[in-house]
A and B are shown apart, each in its own frame.
Chain A
Amino acid sequence: MSEVLSWARRWARRPTATEHELLELARSATLDDVRAAYHKLARFAHPDLHRTAMTPAQLEDVTAAFARVSNAYAVLSGKLRREAKRAPANPGEPAPSGGHAPARPSTATMAPKQPPARPSSTAPGPTSSSTGAASASAGPSAAGAAGALAGPVRAASTTSSPSRTGATAPLPIGPANAMSPRALGHYRRAELAMLRGNSTEALLHLRMAIASDPQSSFLRAALAELEAR
């Protein structure tokens, strides 16, 4: 029991852990690997196995960590299944990284809803113009507009790794090591947004990174650099 608790608390301290990290997998993991890893963790950490032996607070810690593992499993297995579906004919070739809408809308977990032609299937962040337009048109007339939210800023868990995204213009800032883990999560997303050419979103994430780690001079420099562009 204490083993599963310390496992859960380890992840609680790392809110930005990647899917592969949560599932304790190498990046080359296949669909079968992902499933096996999830089953193994389920047999270890599923809250049902611990409910009679824990306090409600302890059980919540374990549930919270396992719920993130489930999400990691959902994201990775979904991605691998879609990739397999896309390229069954020539298995040697890597799946295309962007501009490809998933075959079935019901499985397109994070596909953008409004502009269908946006060149990325996994990154729903609106471009600056679409955010502006959506907000403006929503104004006072739309239902519930008083408290309306604009489009999503990021997909917390489906961002693909920079290596996958490939040869777009890299962000003009080097690898981060001088910031808190939370800030690093935002910074990584800023990087991704830049790779997709969405500087508004990148700016937003950079600001969020700074909000969670105001001390980091590295981040402030990055922001200055980005704003100058």
Chain B
Amino acid sequence: MTLALGIDLGTTNSVAAVATPTGVEFVLSPRGERIHPSVVAVPAGGGMLVGSEARLQRLAEPESVIFSAKRFIGQNLRSPLVLAATDGVGFLIEEGINQQPIAVVRDRRMTMPEVSSHVLLYLKRNAERQFGERVSQAVITVPANFTDAQRQATREAGRLAGLEVLRLINEPTAAALAYGFGKRLHEQVCVFDLGGGTFDASLLRVEDELFEVVASEGEFFLGGDDLDRELAEHLAERFHAHLRVDPRPHPLLMMKLQMSAESIKCHLSEHLVAEGEIDGLDLPDGEVVKLPFRVTREDFERMISPLVDRALTVTQRMLDVAGVLPSEISDVLCVGGSTRIPAVRRQLAALFGREPNVRINPDEVVAQGAAIQAGSLSGGVIPGTGMAALDSVTTLAMSPLSLGGRSVALAPPARPLLLDVTPATLAIQTTGGFTEMLLDKNLPIPIERSRVFSTARDKQTRVEIHCCRGEAKRYSDNEPLGLLVLEDLPERARGELTIEVTFRVDTDGILHVRARDTASGQRRDVRLNILGAPS
């Protein structure tokens, strides 16, 4: 038998778990850690390091270390937000084919799926060593607002790591699954996931073992990394004032300040003041200096308040879209390391009028949900098999058996069923550069919808179907997804020839497009050529 891993492939950290006969077990590093930095290093001595060892390299040889690959996977390097994000990284990013970003370290050029595949392979190998079984399948989680190209690229990373990717599931959905599985709940829960690089807020309706996403909204470039950057900026000003050298043009110095900022940030989650010295700072002239600092929680909260406000605004919008009042929510799940920040919890409590649920482990809950889904999809967790993965989660929660005290055999818990939603509005271009929407955001998946369009010119024998993602009326204001071409169509007067365009979003949240000219009835399943995806 081979194992199916559940993997939370995070921007800063990755966690993997397996549903085993003794419960959900986490994959440990050789040093026994459950949380693995999503970092890959190519040290001068050769070879490749992954995880916490690679992270340590950030101090020794920062230019040899690739991190935050998730911010770039499946992205178009020419998009302004992506370009802006390349600013904060120490490694070189070049443009590859299809405008995809390529990480360049020493003599190696790696696509982002390749970088991520090293993290996945590392998790797979550790799992195989730990469980003594082959790992060939996985469920990988992605942010709910991941695009098609990002999803495809994540699948590609899995494939490169030798994993059959059973499914991509959305991180908040996985969290809700881990929270509610086996509890036979009937309630609405909100998942607030503020991680290292991305932010999502989702509303789910949980009914027995059915987890239905009602709405999900998010921001792709909003997370702990951005909070670190705010604080690093503040430290840079202090540095400048104190040592009369502006560190901002020096990537190595900024990297150290940013890493220090992260430590200070985490300290401030527990304490009201962080005070000390950052040492080992190399000035351009070779001198090594120290920077004393004192940051209060209040200072920090002031620095990050615009970012936290953004996350809460998105949450409010998500509730509006769902048409649900904060008071109708039974529980607010805090997911992602950045929800440990007291100001975040405070504002969440204010919005929902209740304390958020912080009993769940914000770092592990996503991987745990992925593991349950992996077990379910691979046939591991099936009603009646008495898989303890299921039992352990059930007993952790309040088991219906322990409540009623009856020894009557309850119907075996059904396999969990996830009903996720489309991540974005999907449309095609029509004449005049406008768009016509095919599928709205937040619709249940898998979903399929067709619409019929007519040709714009007489004797038009070729039709280009430009697909895009976004809500703007003008095609050019949206994010292009790809192009589908129908050729050699029969010559007809304009408007006479009709083309049926079918959008299907599969259970991975990936779009498939078909087109057919209805006159000849000839079906042409033309594959969408996804922009920015690894080719």
A binds B: yes
Chain A interface residues toward B at CB < 8 A: 38-39, 42-43, 46-49, 51-52, 63-64, 66-68, 70-71, 73-74, 78, 81, 85, 104-107, 109-110, 113-114, 124, 131, 134-135, 137-139, 142-157, 204, 207-208, 211-212
Contact assessment for B463 and A131 in the assembled complex, using a CB-CB cutoff below 8 Å = no
Total contacting residues, chain B, CB less than 8 A:
66
Any chain A CB within 8 A of the CB of B75? no
Instruction: Determine whether the beta carbon of B448 is less than 8 Å from that of A134.
Output: no
* Complex: chain A residue closest to B485, CB-CB: A147
Answer whether A155 and B464 are a contact pair too, CB < 8 Å, given A113-B434, A138-B431, A212-B521.
no
User: A149 near B454 (CB under 8 angstroms)?
Assistant: yes
Pairs across A and B, CB under 8 Å, 11 listed: A43-B414, A48-B376, A48-B507, A104-B321, A142-B432, A147-B460, A150-B430, A150-B494, A153-B498, A154-B452, A156-B450
Given the complex, which residues of B lie within 8 Å of A106, measured CB to CB? Answer: 321, 425, 440-441, 471
B residues 491-528 with Cβ under 8 Å of A? 494-496, 498-500, 504, 506-507, 518-519, 521
**Interface contact A149-B440, CB-CB below 8 Å:** no
Interface Cβ pair total, 8 Å cutoff: 176
Interface of A is mostly: helix
List residues of chain A with CB within 8 A of the CB of B376: 48
Contact assessment for B465 and A149 in the assembled complex, using a CB-CB cutoff below 8 Å: yes
B428 contact set on A, CB distance < 8 A: 149
Cross-chain contact A148 with B471 (CB below 8 angstroms): no
Known: A39-B210, A85-B323, A106-B440. A134 touches B449 (CB 8 A): no
Complex contacts, A104 vs chain B, CB 8 Å = 321
Q: With CB as the reference atom, state the residue of chain B lying closest to A139.
A: B457
Residues of A within 8 A of B377 (CB): 48, 51-52
Residue of B nearest to A15 (CB): B450
Question: Could you say which residues of chain A place their CB within 8 Å of the CB of B20?
Answer: none
Q: Using Cβ atoms and an 8 Å threshold, which residues of chain A touch B419?
A: 42, 46
Please determine whether A38 and B444 come into contact, CB atoms closer than 8 angstroms: yes
C-alpha gap A137/B494 in the complex (Å): 13
Q: For residue B504, which residue of chain A has the nearest CB?
A: A67
Other CB < 8 Å A-B pairs besides A156-B450, A212-B518, 16 of them?
Answer: A38-B444, A43-B417, A48-B415, A68-B448, A70-B443, A71-B448, A113-B473, A135-B456, A138-B456, A139-B457, A148-B430, A149-B428, A149-B453, A149-B456, A150-B454, A207-B496
B342 interface residue (CB < 8 Å to A): no
CB-CB < 8 A to A148: which residues of B?
Answer: 429-431, 456-457, 463-464
Q: A113-B436, A204-B495 are in contact. Are A74 and B443 (CB under 8 A)?
A: yes
User: B61 interface residue, CB < 8 Å from A?
Assistant: no
Contact status of A144 and B432, CB under 8 A, knowing A48-B377, A48-B507, A110-B437:
no
Q: Is there an interface contact between B430 and A151, defined as CB atoms closer than 8 Å?
A: yes
Within 8 A of A (CB), among B462-479: 462-466, 471, 473, 475-476
User: A146 to chain B: which residues have CB within 8 Å?
Assistant: 462, 464
Tell me the smallest distance from the CB of A192 to a CB of chain B, in Å.
13
Give the CA-CA distance A224 to B313 in the complex, in Å. 57
Task: Give Cα A212–Cα B498 distance, bound, in whole angstroms.
Answer: 13
Q: A85-B323, A150-B456 are in contact. Are A74 and B444 (CB under 8 A)?
A: yes
Identify which of A42, A48, A67, A131 contacts B447 (C-beta below 8 A).
A67
> Bound state CA distance, A78 and B444, in angstroms?
11
Minimum CB–CB distance for A10 against chain B, Å: 16
Flag if B440 contacts A42 (CB, 8 Å): no
Chain B proximity of A191: nearest CB distance (Å): 16
Max count, chain B CB within 10 A of own CB: residue among A43, A68, A113, A149: A149
Task: Pick from A48, A124, A153, A208: contact of B418, CB below 8 A.
Answer: A48
Contact among A47, A134, A211 with B456 in the assembled complex (CB-CB below 8 Å): A134
**Which A residues touch B451, using CB under 8 A?**
152-156
Task: Give CA–CA (A135, B498) in the complex, Å.
Answer: 14
Binary contact readout B407-420 vs A (1 if CB under 8 angstroms, 0 otherwise): 00000001101110
A204 CA to B519 CA in the complex, in Å?
11
Query: Is A150 touching B447 in the complex (CB atoms < 8 A)?
Result: no
Given contacts A47-B507, A49-B415, contact A152 B436 (CB under 8 A): yes
A106 to B427, CA, bound (A): 13
| B290-304 interface (Cβ within 8 A of A) | none
A174 to chain B minimum Cβ distance, whole angstroms, is 25
Please name all residues of chain B whose beta carbon is closer than 8 Å to the beta carbon of A42 when the two chains form the complex. Answer: 210, 417, 419
A215 to chain B, nearest CB (A): 15
| Chain B residues with CB below 8 A from A154, complex form | 451-452
Q: In the docked arrangement, what's the CA distance between A147 and B484, Å? A: 10
Complex contacts, B378 vs chain A, CB 8 Å: 52
B445 interface residue, CB < 8 Å from A?
yes
| Known interface pairs A134-B432, A148-B431, A156-B452; A71-B521 also in contact (CB < 8 Å) | no
